Structure 1
Amino acid sequence: MSTSPTLLAEAFDRHQTGGFEEAESLYRRILAGEPDAVEALHRYGLLVAQLGRLEEADRWLARALALEPALETGAVEAAVNHAKILRALRRPEDAARRFRHALVLAPALPTAFEGLGHAEREGDDGAAAAGAYRRAALLGAGAAVLHQWGIALDGIGRLDEAADALRRSAHLDPSVPSVAVRLAGVLYRLGRGGEAAGWYRHALKLQPGRSELRAVLSDIAAPHPSLPPET
């Protein structure tokens, strides 16, 4: 029995417009008649994830991906979605494997490299995270990825590279105070106190109420100023 395109379209329409109860009923109706209806498995997995039923969502997405040849072009989207669910379930190693699966299918997908970076960091592999973020950045990912790359590089002690990534992030989007604070801290540890002070001033302009930034600026010329936390 083949899935009715009309029924699947109706389920997806209800899903997209917030009619979750109706959408769930329709997806279940499809799957009762055709348990291997891969698109219904994928979409239903996303629906139950939206409803907070992450363990169940994991099972539906895994089942859909086990039928990958039938997913055709939807396999990449399903793999990325499954990886995000695995991250939400705090299973970073499984999430990293699924992001790698997505990258086998779509080797130049920056969002998959970004997600892999997050999963590797959550799995405490800073070097792998930095490598994944680097690939995402090379593929054109924006300021947020450069920020995460800089954090990963900082975490493994590659300070010059961290400063470069964070500086690029700050120039692309100068409105994020946490980037300026992180960059200032890295620069100070590199012995570039003057440049660090400039970025602390920039962060203070963005968040004038942060008294710890005023304090560090007042004693940044001292041998060991008390640096604010890098967020």
Structure 2
Amino acid sequence: MTQYLFNPPPAMSVPVRGLDARFPINRLFFVGRNYHAHAVEMGRPVDKSVERPFYFTKAPQTLTDSGATVAYPPETSNYHFEMELVLAIGKAGFRVRAEDAHTLIYGYAAGLDMTRRDLQLVARDKGRPWDLGKDVEQSSVCSEIVPMEGIVIESGAIALEVNGQTKQSSNVDKLIWNIRELIADLSLFYHLQPGDLIYTGTPEGVGPVVVGDKITGRVEGVAEVALTVGAPK
């Protein structure tokens, strides 16, 4: 039996609707600027004819179950919500053709990509990595996963409210790169594995939250996600 100097961290997982077993997490991938209106509001319009999707990752340890209360993070004064459709990979795949991408799909969830926006923008403008802005403790919020094996979601309302006030409202059919295209492209760079989650991008309307705010979001036909912003530590 392998001995460790200290106990290794527990495996990260999220619940699965209708099952007692949880979905073990391998990696967290995030697609940047995948709705035109959000790309414009961030000052970086996207021309799909000449660009490819781009991605960033977060540590699985940033994963947080829906309904949690998380502390307002340190070293920021501009903590933002980003509502996203989350794709759960259930089978291994490498260099997958778009027409075969559905074979890797296990299901979907609703998620939040919480972001230290001030730190992200400083890093972006200086050409530095986004880690301090994006790879934030407890910032990858995920609902239960809804099993939908082999199903490609092509449309459905996506929305977010803060304290009951609508902040984001769009439709998944406005993704610049759709589900098939994302799986095919990402699988050119990585051997996708069961347990990988892909946060597919956020629509326009992102904005800051403060201590005490209650965030609720939903993806039509999938799930709802919720988060309360707690006092800083």
* Shorter-chain TM-score range: under 0.3
Q: Which one has the bigger helix percentage?
A: 1
Give TM-score scaled by structure 2 length: 0.19
Q: Which has the larger radius of gyration?
A: 1
